[in-house]
């Protein structure tokens, strides 16, 4: 085997695309999916590759140092790609401490495990931390986030991710851990949990529920197809420079209301509805507290230095995403039963 890589959070949305890419593209690598299987983790996301000889699943929690020691000792990894996290901003507003535990303390536990396991010999090793553009806070009407933009997180989620980024950087400086960080914009695509805007609205159009647009709907996000993010992660893991940070973005800014209208149009086409049918479900609701007005990534560094750029247009990516949800209605039914209903009621019924 060429390399052994632990991917944390591999049963989640982005993690499952990263795991699949590495398992299929690098048959010589051993890929260990370390995941606690929280509400967001779902092994159904990986059914197609679960029997691959180079794929291993370990149900383990990054908050449990015994779990980490066991997995590190068992597999002796050369690389870590760290995606495990609490990832939803609205949940962080309801329950900030869960985000501190998993995103901050969990990340420090993982850094300690790598430090302890690799000791002074970290040549050829890599600790790759996956982070978000939300650490930079909000932009006004113009400008972009670059790698040197000051951190200014506004939500408990982004504060916890910012903190984890600082710890990763600090372990690089203090203990010479071979760290690397990427900060990416909003992902969308297959397997996206329907608490986030795009899959929530696809599900609500299918089930004919209101589409809850927060505030005035003029908030702007920079959207990237999840498989393009997985391709960027592959490239950075293999060719990125140690101790560097790279921003990853879609070159694709959309105001929420414009995105929702495009989604409604594509869903109407898919469902054979008359034009405008799904738009009738749009309902403006109370805003998210601390809502960041605009995110936009300047991805020039990863583009120039590593040659990465997105491969699909937004309309292509959205069509692929919608097709996936229609072909995987059973997946949608599974993930929206149980805990999801309770969260949905808490989040939306009093808005
Ligand atoms: P997700 O919520 O879909 O998946 C998170 C995964 O982590 C789940 O499989 C869950 O079971 C696992 N997990 C949670 N707590 C754990 C713990 N204590 N121990 C082990 N596993 C645990 O998240 P996602 O949207 O795929 O995001 C993955 C990473 O990418 C996160 O670090 C997130 O901050 C970052 N990110 C996400 C986006 C986005 O648009 N979704 C954009 C930029 C960065
Ligand atoms: O920017 C990267 C981040 O993108 C990631 O780090 C996060 O993990 C990921 O969840 C995402 O955060 P956002 O808060 O931007 O994504 P979300 O899909 O929750 O919301 C996108 C926009 O849509 C945001 O402006 C809030 C709005 N929104 C969201 C929901 C769920 C609504 O108007 N209504 C909704 O019901």
* pLDDT (tens digit per residue) in 190-237: 999 999 999 999 999 999 999 999 999 999 999 999 999 999 999 999
Token duo for residue 157: 């989620």
Residue 85 has pLDDT above 80, yes or no: yes
Q: Looking at residues 129-144, what average pLDDT do you find?
A: 97
pLDDT in the model for residue 164 = 99
Catalytic-residue membership of 133: yes
Q: Looking at residues 129-145, what average pLDDT do you find?
A: 97
Model confidence at 343, pLDDT cuts 50, 70, 90, reads very high
Instruction: Provide the pairing of β-strand 79-82 with 126-132.
Output: parallel
pLDDT in the model for residue 313 = 96
* Helix (H) or strand (E) segment spanning residue 9: none
Specify the pTM. Answer: 0.98
Residue with the smallest CA separation from ligand 2 atom 10 is 88
pLDDT in the model for residue 105 = 98
Model confidence at 351, pLDDT cuts 50, 70, 90, reads confident
Instruction: Provide the pairing of β-strand 79-82 with 4-8.
Output: parallel
Ramachandran assignment for 137, one of left (phi > 0), alpha (psi -120 to 50 degrees), beta (any other):
left
Query: Pick the catalytic residue: 58, 134, 222, 253?
Result: 134
pLDDT in the model for residue 137 = 98
pLDDT in the model for residue 349 = 85
Q: Which residues contact 150 (CB under 8 A, 6 or more apart)?
A: 136
pLDDT in the model for residue 121 = 83
Ligand 2 lined by 226 (C-beta under 6 Å): no
pLDDT in the model for residue 216 = 98
Q: Which ligand is nearest to the CA of 133?
A: 2
Instruction: Provide the pairing of β-strand 220-225 with 253-255.
Output: antiparallel
Q: Which residue has the tokens 């959207």?
A: 223
Catalytic-residue membership of 244: no
Fold for 3-188+224-253+294-314, please state it. Answer: Rossmann fold (3.40.50)
pLDDT in the model for residue 122 = 87
The β-bridge partners of 4 are 30
The Å distance, Cα 196 to ligand 2 centre, comes to 6
In the chain, the percentage of residues whose pLDDT exceeds 90 is 96
Residue 120 has pLDDT above 80, yes or no: no
Atom of ligand 1 nearest to the CA of 39: 11
Ligand 1 lined by 36 (C-beta under 6 Å): yes
How does pLDDT run across 255-306, given as a tens digit for each residue? 999 999 999 999 999 999 999 999 999 999 999 999 999 999 999 999 999 9
Residue with the smallest CA separation from ligand 1 atom 10 is 41
pLDDT in the model for residue 300 = 98
Residue with the smallest CA separation from ligand 1 atom 42 is 186
Model confidence at 338, pLDDT cuts 50, 70, 90, reads confident
Ligand 2 lined by 219 (C-beta under 6 Å): yes
Ligand 2 lined by 325 (C-beta under 6 Å): no
Residue 142 has pLDDT above 80, yes or no: yes
Residue 1 has pLDDT above 70, yes or no: no
Residue with the smallest CA separation from ligand 2 atom 11 is 186
Model confidence at 108, pLDDT cuts 50, 70, 90, reads very high
Residue 38 has pLDDT above 90, yes or no: yes
């Amino acid at each position: 085997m060429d390399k052994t890589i632990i991917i944390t959070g591999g049963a989640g949305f982005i993690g499952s695309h990263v795991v699949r890419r590495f398992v299929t593209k690098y048959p010589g690598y051993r890929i260990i999916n370390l995941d606690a299987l929280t509400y967001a983790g779902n092994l159904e996301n990986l059914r197609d590759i679960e029997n691959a000889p180079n794929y291993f699943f370990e149900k383990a929690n990054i908050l449990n140092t015994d779990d980490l020691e066991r997995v590190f000792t068992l597999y002796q990894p050369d690389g870590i790609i760290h995606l495990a996290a609490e990832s939803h901003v609205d949940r962080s507003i309801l329950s900030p401490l869960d985000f501190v535990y998993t995103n901050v303390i969990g990340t420090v536990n993982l850094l300690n495990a790598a430090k302890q396991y690799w000791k002074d010999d970290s040549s050829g090793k890599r600790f790759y931390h996956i982070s978000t553009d939300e650490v930079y806070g909000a932009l006004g009407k113009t400008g972009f986030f670059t790698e040197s933009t000051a951190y200014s997180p506004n939500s408990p989620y982004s504060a916890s991710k910012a903190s984890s980024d600082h710890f990763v950087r600090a372990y690089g400086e203090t203990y010479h851990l071979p760290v690397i960080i990427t900060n990416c914009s909003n992902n969308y695509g297959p397997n996206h949990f329907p608490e986030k805007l795009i899959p929530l609205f696809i599900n609500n159009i299918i089930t004919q529920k209101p589409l809850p647009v927060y505030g005035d709907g003029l908030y702007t996000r920079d959207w990237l197809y999840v498989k393009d993010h997985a391709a960027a992660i592959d490239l950075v893991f293999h060719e990125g420079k140690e101790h560097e940070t790279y921003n990853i973005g879609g070159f694709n800014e959309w105001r929420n209301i414009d995105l929702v209208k495009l989604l409604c149009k594509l869903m109407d086409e898919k469902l054979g509805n008359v034009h405008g049918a799904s738009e009738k479900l749009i309902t403006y609701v109370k805003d998210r507290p601390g809502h960041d007005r605009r995110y936009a990534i300047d991805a020039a560094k990863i583009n120039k230095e590593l040659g990465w750029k997105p491969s699909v247009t937004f309309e292509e990516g959205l069509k692929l995403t919608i097709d996936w949800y229609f072909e995987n209605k059973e997946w949608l039914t599974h993930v929206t039963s149980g805990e999801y209903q309770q969260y949905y009621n808490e989040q939306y019924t009093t808005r």
